Amino acid sequence: MTTTEDIETGTEELLAERDGPLLTITLNRPERLNAISGPMLSAFSRVLDEANQNPDIRVVILTGAGRGFCSGLDLVENAPREGVERRPAQFKLIDLAASPPMALYKMDKPVICALNGAAAGYGMDLALLCDIRIASEHGKFAAVVTKRNVVPESGGTWLLPRLIGYGKAAETFLRGLTVGAEESLALGLVNKVVPADELMATARQWAHELAQNSPASVQVTKRMMRLGEHQTFEAAVDHLMVHLRALMQMEDFKEGVHAFLDQRPPHFEGR
C-alpha cells in the first residue's frame, strides 16, 4: 500500500502530489480559472523535468482546481499598465527551452490530462500536449484566440491539425469555437468522457494501468511516436530496432517472458 507525499513546488499556485509511481500536478488558482502566473511557469517546468528524471515516477496526471482546467496565461497580470511609460524593448531571441510546453513535449513519461473544465489559450495547448485526455462532462476546449487578438502561442497550431486534421483545426481556430466534451470525444480530442465525480478516479485507474507496464517500453514507445512524426517509415523502423535490442537485454524483458509463460501479471522494476 502506497502513501501520498506532497512535493514542494515553491508556490501554492501549483500543487504536486506523489502517490507511488503516480505524480498528480494540479494548477491551483481556481479564483482565476487557473490562469498561469509567472511563479507557476518556472515551478511547472521544474516539476515536470524532475518527474521525467525520477525513475520511481512512471505516470503524470495533470488537472486543475475548481471549475476550470486552465484559462491560459494571466493576461491581466501581464497586461501593460495604463499611465506607465513603456520603453521600446531591445531585440532578444525567445528561448522556450525551459518552458512548460517544451517540457511537456519532451516528456518521456506518459502524461494524462484530467480535463475538469475549460481549457483556453495556453491551457488548451497544455492539454493537447498530454498523451491521453480524459474529460468530465464539464471539460471543453475554448479555441477563442481570434476573438482576443492573440495566437495559440504554445504549439496549438502545430498540435491541433495533427490531432483532428487541418480542415477541422482551421474551422475551430479561425471561427474561434468552443468545443464541448462530447464533441471533443467525437473529434478524437479526448479519449473518454466521464461524470465529474468520476474524473480523478478514472484518471488514476488509467495511470495505474500504465504504471504496471514496462517503464522502459512505455517511454521508448512514446518517444518513438513523437519522433515518428518527422521520420520516414524506413527510418522509424530502423530506429525502433536499435531500441528493441537494448530492451531485450534488460531484466524486465526476462520478467515479461516469464510472466507470459507463467500466465501471471508481470512485475517490472525498470532495469
Residue 269, in any domain of the structure: no
CA–CA dist 38, 174 (Å, integer): 28
Give the least confident one: 88-102, 209-223, 255-269. 88-102
Do 224 and 196 share a structural domain? no
Residue 5 has pLDDT above 60, yes or no: yes
Considering the domain architecture, whether residues 155 and 135 belong to the same structural domain is answered as yes
- pLDDT value at position 198? 98
Q: Is residue 118 one of the residues assigned to a domain?
A: yes
Tell me, yes or no, whether 201 and 235 share the same domain.
no
- Domain end point (choices 176, 194, 211): 211
Q: What is the pLDDT of residues 11-60, one digit of tens each?
A: 999 999 999 999 999 999 999 999 999 999 989 999 999 999 999 999 99
Tens of pLDDT, residue by residue over 106-157, are 999 999 999 999 999 999 999 999 999 999 999 999 999 999 888 888 899 9
CATH number at residue 234: 1.10.12
Q: Which of 111, 108, 129 is nearest to 25 (CA)?
A: 111
The answer to whether position 168 is within a domain reads yes
Name the pLDDT band for 158 (thresholds 50, 70, 90): very high
Please indicate, yes or no, whether residues 164 and 191 belong to a single structural domain of this protein.
yes
Together in a domain, 159 and 226: no
Kindly state whether residues 76 and 117 are assigned to the same domain: yes
Residue 172 lies in a domain: yes
| 117 and 89 within one domain | yes
Count: domains in the chain: 2
234 in a structural domain = yes
pLDDT of residue 82: 53
Residue 227 lies inside a defined structural domain of this protein: yes
Decide if pLDDT at 78 tops 60.
Answer: no
Instruction: Tell me: do 59 and 191 sit in the same domain.
Output: yes
User: For residue 168, is pLDDT > 60?
Assistant: yes
Domain that holds residue 137: 4-211
Q: Is the pLDDT of residue 220 over 90?
A: yes
C-alpha span between 201 and 103 (Å, rounded) = 26
Give the model's pLDDT for residue 75: 66
Residues 230 and 123 in one domain: no
Residue type, 87: R
Q: What is the pLDDT of residue 147?
A: 92
Q: What does R_g of the chain's alpha carbons equal in angstroms?
A: 20
pLDDT band per the 50, 70, 90 thresholds, residue 93? confident
Query: Is residue 74 one of the residues assigned to a domain?
Result: yes
Task: Catalogue the long-range contacts made by 96-102 (C-beta closer than 8 Å, 24 or more residues apart).
Answer: 98/42, 98/45, 99/41, 99/45, 99/154, 100/36, 100/41, 100/44, 100/45, 100/48, 100/126, 101/125, 101/126, 101/129, 101/154, 101/155, 102/45
CATH number at residue 82: 3.90.226.10
Same domain flag for 78 and 170: yes
**Final residue of a structural domain among 171, 196, 211:** 211
Q: Which of 211, 230, 254 is the last residue of a domain?
A: 211
Are 38 and 134 found together in one domain?
Answer: yes
pLDDT in tens, 6-25: 999 999 999 999 999 999 99
Is 268 domain-assigned?
Answer: no
- Find, among 246, 259, 249, the residue nearest to 220 by Cα: 246
- 73 and 150 both lie in a single domain: yes
Report residue 92's pLDDT band, with 50, 70 and 90 as the boundaries: confident
* Residues contacting residue 12 through CB under 8 Å, at least 6 positions apart: 28
What is the share, in percent, of the chain residues with pLDDT greater than 70?
93
Residue with cell 531571441: 93
Please name which of 202, 210, 172, 176 lies closest in space to residue 189, comparing C-alpha atoms. Answer: 172
Ranges of H-type helices in the chain: 38-53, 75-78, 100-106, 122-129, 156-164, 166-175, 181-187, 199-211, 215-228, 233-247, 251-262
